Structure 1
Amino acid sequence: MGTTLFSSCSFLAQISSVENGISRVKAVACSTGSDSVDGVMKRRSVLVSGASLISSAVLGFPADGLAVVKQGLLAGRVPGLSEPDEQGWRTYRRPDDKSGGHGVGWSPIIPYLFSVPQEWDEVPVSIADLGGTEIDLRFASPKKGRLFVIVAPVLRFADNLGDDATIEKIGPPEKVINAFGPEVIGENVEGKVLSMNVEEHSGRTYYRYELEPPHVLITATAAGNRLYLFSVTGNGLQWKRHYTDLKKIADSFRVV
């Protein structure tokens, strides 16, 4: 297979090789297996039907390593969008003081970033949403698609990861998508995964997936004591017309 170029966050990273269907970026190790999820990962008793998500392109983020402050008492929707840049894209950064229904006694949620075109807006998260209180944020564009962010305590999946979890400790790419893909699409992901990529940005590893049907792009990573799932989706027509933007949104997701 010929060399493929991957573009994200205003840089070009060369995929060094493709092995077992998984592209490797920056020589980040990636192993797969067909065995069932066990050990580190605990099987969930209920598969949560997923809503669709859309994230935005990286056009320049604040430097990694920003300090995390204690969560305040601001609940619900808190503005976090920048002004549009020259191309009409805005960067969303989760406000430090935004609270969330993620359990009493948990550490503050480490902020995350992504970018969206100007017509994308935050939409309310309802308690009726599939995924419950672990859906931290939703965005949508009536014409282009939808996105949401799930932030879940890693203790729900493993009891030995501490407060400095990494996605590698939770599992390799194939195991992670088999375990958590149903969180997003509401059904088994077998036969639906078109691609799996492993990337490293500022020392943090991200697993990226493309699935169909339904059309969805998923990014998974871990930070602190939480797992982050970022998903971007659209219907068939939106996927056909706006795939480039949807992919750019999905590739922009970062945890600072």
Structure 2
Amino acid sequence: MDTQPLPVKHLSREESYGYDRKTLDYIRNAAAHGLYEIRGMGAKRKLPGFDDLVFLGASLSRYALEGYREKCSTKTVLGTRFAKKPIELDIPITIAGMSFGALSANVKEALGRAASEMGTSTTTGDGGMTPEERLSSKTLVYQCLPSRYGFNPDDVRRADAIEVVIGQGAKPGGGGMLLGQKVSPRVAGMRTLPAGVDQRSACRHPDWTGPDDLAIKIQELREMTDWEKPIYVKVGATRTFNDVKLAVAGDRKAVRFIANLLDQVQGG
């Protein structure tokens, strides 16, 4: 049996046991040019995608359908309990909210068209509703965010549903930052803030701190829309059990929202 030790690879000055060359190159560029750590394009590490979904098959608790003679529908209806005008989606997959500023008006319009073609909804995001996305979206969800940037009661009434945002998967418990280079005069005007200046979004709502206050806020939104719009709450998937428990407690105190949307890691 050969007991000779394996040869040791000697690293050059440009390499490291802890970091590969790509990481070292990023660190050097950041040190030389001051690269900002917060940027778009999703997470930096590989995360599960649609190809990783595992569907629960039917057995005893959920009776199986005969595929050749029984149809399986993906239609999803939201708001049947309390909203006068529930929304109906062809698929249970929606386009999450992204701010006007982070995205251009053209992209917001494109998302609206794509969602309409697929029979689902798209969402406004921080900064308010643009005319382009309202005209191109068959079903548009209006976000009520902690920052209240661009929040407009008239636009709330023009939307098809309301999403109360408590947190998002990319940074639950944290706010947001729109760099000044993206704050054009139009974006600044909708947010009533100066153009060209970094704009930070708050990490929590300024007018409530718990389920009791959440109930009051949703009651305000219902009265604002004459009880027409479905309302649901979006939370980052963190302390999910306790968060949903508090949301349900708020429901017993007349919150009456239809669902909790759990936003995962990649959602930003």
TM-score scaled by length of structure 2: 0.27
Structure whose CA Rg is larger: 2
Higher helix proportion: 2
Instruction: Identify the structure with bigger relative contact order (alpha carbons < 8 Å, sequence gap 6+).
Output: 1
